[in-house]
Amino acid sequence: MSMTQKREISDRDIQLFFDSAGKLLEVAESDGAKARKAIDALTSFQSQVGARLSQLEVKVVQKIEAAAERTADKAAKLLQERFREADAAAEKAAERYRQAAARLTFRLWTYSIAPPAVVLLVLAVLAFAMIPSLDDINQRRAELSSLDSQIQGKRLRWTTCMQDSKPVPCFEAVQGQEVNCFNATDGSRLCALLRVRR
């Protein structure tokens, strides 16, 4: 091989080398552009994924908070219902205690007023039964006065006598009359006035 040939080969090789390098550079630039596009796409995808993840995080937090609020609302409503039921039960119990206290107060008043009232009623009945009315007393006084006037001038008078050291009502015979007394079978003493004829 001659020098020209070597030179040609070398020039040709260099030309090929430069062509190859140019092509490689074009390919590299093309690949670089593609790589940049891929990197840009990956960066965009990463941004989108990040945005979606933060949106998802916000949504999850909102849903958890909403679920917690709903659960808290349900729990509060249940507690409120239980408190209402407990309040109603307490009101019923208080009403029963008030009624029991009223009954107990009524019984206490009845038990404290009834015995004196019964005693007063018995005394009133006894007073009406035993104590004569004013008309009866006046009528008996009139009868006694009539009997007194009839006895005046007779030899007999109503008085109190002593019998076994006890005062007993009796008729006393005035002089000129004799009294015949005897003991009855039941232990009482009976006396009969005898008028002596002259």
Identify whether residues 163 and 73 lie together within a single domain: no
Pairing type for strands 166-173 and 156-163 reads antiparallel
Domain annotation covers residue 157: yes
In this prediction, the residues of the chain whose per-residue pLDDT falls under 50 are: 176-178, 194-198
CA distance 164 to 168: 10
Identify whether residues 35 and 82 lie together within a single domain: yes
Q: Of the residues 99, 124, 151, which one is the last residue of a structural domain?
A: 99
Q: What element of type H or E holds 174?
A: none
Question: Is residue 173 exposed (0-12), middle (13-18) or buried (19+ Cβ within 10 Å)?
Answer: middle
Identify whether residues 83 and 161 lie together within a single domain: no
The amino acid that residue 140 corresponds to is R
Q: Of the residues 83, 99, 115, which one is the last residue of a structural domain?
A: 99
> CA torsion sign, 6 to 9 to 12 to 18?
negative
State residue 92's pLDDT score.
92
Identify whether residues 6 and 91 lie together within a single domain: yes
State residue 132's pLDDT score.
82
φ, ψ for residue 154, nearest 5 deg: -90, 165
State residue 156's pLDDT score.
62
State residue 189's pLDDT score.
59
CA 5 to centroid of chain Cα atoms: 125
State residue 147's pLDDT score.
73
Q: Report which of 150, 149, 156, 192 is spatially closest to residue 171, judged by C-alpha positions.
A: 156
CA distance 156 to 150: 11
Q: How many structural domains compose the chain? A: 2
State residue 172's pLDDT score.
64
State residue 99's pLDDT score.
92
Domain boundaries, position 171:
134-195
State residue 95's pLDDT score.
92
State residue 194's pLDDT score.
45
Beta bridge mates, 195: 177
pLDDT in tens, 7-39: 556 677 777 777 777 777 777 777 777 778 888
State residue 59's pLDDT score.
87
Domain annotation covers residue 122: no
Beta bridge mates, 48: none
Domain annotation covers residue 108: no
Domain annotation covers residue 115: no
Identify whether residues 16 and 78 lie together within a single domain: yes
Q: Report which of 145, 176, 181, 144 is spatially closest to residue 161, judged by C-alpha positions.
A: 181
State residue 160's pLDDT score.
75
Identify whether residues 4 and 93 lie together within a single domain: yes
